């Protein structure tokens, strides 16, 4: 079945996601499976819960070629960022056909929980580091298309925080 994603300019994407309690309940476990399915279906390398309609601090990533190694990140926090920054164009499953010009740290250390609740701390580089920073933005209601000339433009963000969410009304019916 086709999984519909929340798309720009829906203001639902601007909401800030909340921490997930452990152990995970059935609903959250199902959400993780659902998100993984959606990520592969839409051929993304990462997806955040907000993109399928949930304000929860969860994202999935798979930057591998084989596309069979989804990694689940819950309640993630970036604890270290490299000084080295790279500016590159980024796309988003929630903003098809659009691109952002975004500066990201080349290397980050991320602390997060795995599905079983275990705490993990890992270093990520290059594409994975970029993808994680992109997904972390989603958890705060930010989008890569808000960036201009590499830098975050909060005016673009603010101009888009008012209005109705199509997604919520859709999912209620
Ligand atoms: Zn995105």
In a domain, 71, yes or no: yes
pLDDT digits (tens, 9 = 90+) for 106-152: 999 999 999 999 999 999 999 999 999 999 999 999 999 999 999 99
Q: 70: domain range?
A: 11-158
DSSP state of 5: P
CA of 93 to the centre of ligand 1 (A): 5
CA of 95 to the centre of ligand 1 (A): 7
In a domain, 25, yes or no: yes
Domain tally for the chain?
1
In a domain, 34, yes or no: yes
In a domain, 143, yes or no: yes
CATH number of the domain that 25 lies in?
Answer: 3.90.45.10
The two structure tokens encoding residue 166: 């199509």
- CA dist 14 and 16 (Å) reads 7
Q: Which residues pair with 161 in a beta bridge?
A: none
Choose the catalytic residue: 68, 84, 135, 140: 135
| Residues 125 and 110 sit within 8 Å (Cβ to Cβ) | no
In a domain, 134, yes or no: yes
pLDDT for the residue numbered 167: 63
135 catalytic per annotation? yes
- CA dist 18 and 132 (Å) reads 17
CA of 90 to the centre of ligand 1 (A): 9
Q: Which residues pair with 151 in a beta bridge?
A: 148
In a domain, 141, yes or no: yes
In a domain, 168, yes or no: no
In a domain, 150, yes or no: yes
């Amino acid at each position: 079945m086709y999984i519909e994603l929340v798309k720009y300019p829906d203001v639902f994407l601007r909401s800030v996601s909340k921490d997930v309690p452990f152990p995970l309940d059935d609903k959250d476990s199902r959400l993780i499976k659902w998100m993984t399915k959606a990520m592969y279906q839409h051929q993304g390398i990462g997806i955040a819960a907000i993109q399928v309609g949930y304000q929860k601090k969860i994202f999935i990533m798979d930057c591998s070629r084989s596309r069979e190694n989804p990694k689940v990140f819950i309640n993630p926090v970036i604890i270290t960022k490299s000084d080295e920054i790279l500016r590159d164009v980024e796309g988003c499953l929630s903003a098809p056909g659009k691109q952002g010009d975004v500066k990201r740290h080349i290397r980050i250390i991320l602390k997060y929980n795995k599905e079983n609740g275990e705490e993990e701390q890992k270093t990520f580089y290059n594409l994975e580091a970029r993808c994680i920073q992109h997904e972390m933005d989603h958890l705060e209601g930010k989008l890569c298309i808000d960036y201009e000339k590499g830098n975050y433009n909060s005016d673009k963000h603010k101009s888009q925080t008012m209005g109705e969410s199509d997604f919520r009304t859709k999912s209620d019916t």
